[in-house]
């Protein structure tokens, strides 16, 4: 059996679980805010395409109880989440961990081989280090989504003071729209991420808690 390796620094583990709790609260309070005007576009239309047009999300999924309560929770949780993001980005940059996490041009071929493996067109699992190429693509996308969420959130929060930013996203309603869908992409990633942990690599769950990993992907090379 492979010897356990040190997989995740305590900063990564702490930021991972803090982000999980904070994002859950941000989504729930965001749904409470959305309830006040569950559509995108000026009153009377035209409206942006939206699968959740006029949908009333159940009370258990919302945080705040009413519009002002949802807004208060959203802003209360926003700053700790931004702090978590800054700490995590700083750690990636200073530790060099970004080399193992972010998708780079050289990962194109390994990503193709991983796709073949998941489609049952290849028998053996392609060699990988800490993360395979598809995981790198997913994590890189999440970091970009996080940046998009912050920028669109600022555009909604300060549409007058940051008019240039709001205009960059196409106006207030368009900024709301991109902010909303960035959240659902986050939710989709989270669901798929959890499923893949249990299906493909259960030891990684222990690793994100204890920091130590013992499994078939014990190599920690980039």
94-116 pLDDT, tens digit per residue, is: 999 888 888 988 888 988 988 88
Is 122 within 8 Å of 128 (Cβ atoms)?
no
Nearest to 149 by CA among 118, 125, 109, 180: 180
pLDDT band at 118 (very low <50, low <70, confident <90, very high): confident
* Torsion over CA: 108, 109, 112, 117 (sign): negative
pLDDT above 60 (res 194): yes
Write out pLDDT tens, residues 154-182. Answer: 999 999 999 999 999 999 999 999 999 99
Q: Which residue has the higher pLDDT, 66 or 121?
A: 66
Domains in the chain, CATH or no CATH each: 7-213 (1.20.950.20)
- Beta partners for 5? 213
Quick one: average pLDDT of 14-42? 94
pLDDT above 80 (res 216):
no
Residue 1 has pLDDT above 50, yes or no: no
H or E segment to which residue 213 belongs: strand 212-213
Could you tell me if 70 and 59 are in contact, meaning their C-beta atoms sit under 8 angstroms apart?
A: no
| CB-based contact 30:99 (threshold 8 Å) | no
Task: Decide: 91 and 26 in contact? Cβ < 8 Å.
Answer: no
What is the DSSP secondary-structure string of 92-118? HHHHSTHHHHS--GGGHHHHHHHHHHH
**pTM of the predicted protein model:** 0.84
CA 121 to chain centre: 29
Q: Is the pLDDT of residue 214 over 80?
A: no
């Amino acid at each position: 059996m492979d010897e356990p390796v040190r997989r995740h620094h305590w900063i990564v583990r702490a930021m991972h679980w803090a982000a999980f709790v904070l994002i859950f609260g941000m989504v729930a309070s965001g749904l409470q805010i959305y309830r006040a005007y569950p559509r995108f576009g000026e009153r009377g239309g035209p409206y942006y395409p939206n699968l959740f047009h006029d949908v009333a999300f159940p009370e258990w999924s919302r945080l705040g109880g009413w519009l002002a309560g949802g807004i208060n929770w959203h802003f209360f949780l926003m700053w700790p989440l931004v702090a978590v993001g800054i700490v995590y980005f700083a750690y990636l940059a200073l530790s060099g961990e970004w080399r193992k996490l972010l998708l780079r041009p050289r990962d194109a071929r390994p990503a193709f081989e991983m796709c073949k493996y998941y489609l049952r067109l290849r028998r053996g699992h392609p060699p990988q280090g800490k993360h395979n190429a598809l995981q790198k693509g997913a994590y890189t996308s999440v970091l970009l989504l996080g940046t998009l969420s912050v920028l669109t959130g600022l555009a909604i929060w300060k549409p007058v003071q940051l008019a240039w930013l709001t205009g960059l996203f196409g106006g207030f309603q368009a900024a709301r729209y991109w902010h909303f869908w960035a959240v659902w992409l986050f939710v989709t990633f989270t669901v798929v991420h959890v499923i893949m942990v249990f299906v493909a690599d259960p030891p990684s769950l222990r690793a994100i808690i204890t920091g130590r990993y013992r499994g078939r992907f014990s190599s920690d090379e980039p």
